[in-house]
Structure 1
Amino acid sequence: MPHTRTRTALAGVLTLATLALAGCSADDRADGRSPAATSDAGAAGAVGSATSADAVLAPYGLDGLEAVQVVDALEATPLAERPADLTASVRPREVVLDSPAGTATLPLPDDAFYLSLAPYVSATHPCAQHSLTTCRGELGGAEVALTVVDDATGKTLVDDTRTAADNGFVGLWLPRDRELTVRVQVDGRAASTQVTTSDDADTCLTTLQLT
């Protein structure tokens, strides 16, 4: 099944390649999944910027949500349904929102760093700060086996298989201020790299070429 899904995803590479190349402008989460949306840090930050962020997000039915919820919702949205006039850029400490209604930011929780990765075989694009509405990877819908290891302690933080979203990315919520080794495997091909989750780190990982 993963092999079939990967072939299906690759069939769309030629039509997506141009867009892909131009596409990107809580306690410790030990599994890379979303931190609780009601974490104290996230809730406090959302209150401080709720009015302006809600004005930007209301046309898309995302008003009233905290940053973590907005990130997860947009990342999971099928490409055909992604709003063309909204950009949402994930930075290490906040999500920057821009639409015809204006620009706003939503702070991320103090203890959670978002990293979105897109393994690829033949087509990728340079990316530093992940765009939830425009970034596109090669292998949408592929089954991706993931491991994330804390380099300092040797502890495995993530050991799971995830389905890449329609945009070809897999999002991970990771503890902040760590040096980590990320390994992915898709249909027998693998790649690995080291990343950090510091305040000056990239939130977008598009250099994992599967071999």
Structure 2
Amino acid sequence: MKRTVWWILAALGLVGGAAAFFWGRPVEDPYLAALRGASAQEAIALANRWREEGRPVQSYVTARAVEFVLPGDRPYRVPLPEDQMVVAIAPYIRTTHPCEVHYMSSCQGELANQPIQVRVTRADGTVLVDQEMRTLSNGFLELWLPRGATYKVEMRLEGYRGVEVVETFEASRTCVTTLKLEPDAA
């Protein structure tokens, strides 16, 4: 009898609630299960993956936390490290959009899946990043930088070059869509 009822409920998409009812075990929400114990870097990776998969999850990052709105309008927060902040940068050649807070679930940059040479330096000339990176399918690069500083970010892509100044203070933007790549004269 229980097996027949289970199959009927499965056909109706009610297995999780039915399992909790019939067997007395709650079924953990898969989004909460994935996020519980995740670092901020892991939470952002999940947010990017869920976007790719078309999952109904809203996600964005502030200067202090990765924020989620899970199905059923349930909020969930993963704090950023005290000493680091993420800045998502979407370099562009032709099109961009105005943005201050990076929404992993909806922000889209022009240059998706592109290899870009990235160089990040502090005001004193110390180089923090100097490597080729690939933009995500949303056209963004995510840079984890120490808090409380100003950085010069230089990007190069096949004959194009752009420079932007970014900051990692409490009121700093987490979404940078103003780094325009211009033809490189060098």
Distance, in Å, in 2 between the alignment partners of 1:143 and 1:186 is: 7
Equivalent residue, structure 2, for 1:145: 117
When the two chains are superposed, the root-mean-square deviation of aligned CA atoms in Å is 2.0
Instruction: Report which of the two has the higher share of strand.
Output: 2
Instruction: Report which of the two has the higher share of helix.
Output: 1
- So what's the TM-score if we normalise by structure 2? 0.76
Q: CA deviation at 1:79?
A: 5.4
Distance, in Å, in 2 between the alignment partners of 1:181 and 1:87 is: 30
Distance, in Å, in 2 between the alignment partners of 1:165 and 1:80 is: 10
Equivalent residue, structure 2, for 1:93: 64
SS in 2 for 1:208: coil
Change (3 A) 1:65 1:144: same
- So what's the TM-score if we normalise by structure 1? 0.68
Amino acid at match of 1:186: L
2:32 maps to which of 53, 58, 65:
58
Does the CA-based 8 Å contact 1:116-1:171 persist in structure 2? yes
Calculate percent identity across the aligned residue pairs.
31
Consecutive unaligned residues of structure 2, counting only runs of 5 or more, are 1-27
Does the CA-based 8 Å contact 1:146-1:158 persist in structure 2? yes
Moved over 4 A (4+): none
1:172 maps to which of 137, 143, 146:
143
Equivalent residue, structure 1, for 2:44: 71
| Greater C-alpha radius of gyration | 2
Q: Does 1:202 align with 2:176?
A: no
Consecutive unaligned residues of structure 1, counting only runs of 5 or more, are 1-53
Q: CA deviation at 1:57?
A: 2.5
Q: How many residue pairs are counted as aligned between the two chains?
A: 154
Amino acid at match of 2:91: P
Does the CA-based 8 Å contact 2:50-2:57 persist in structure 1? no
Equivalent residue, structure 2, for 1:27: none
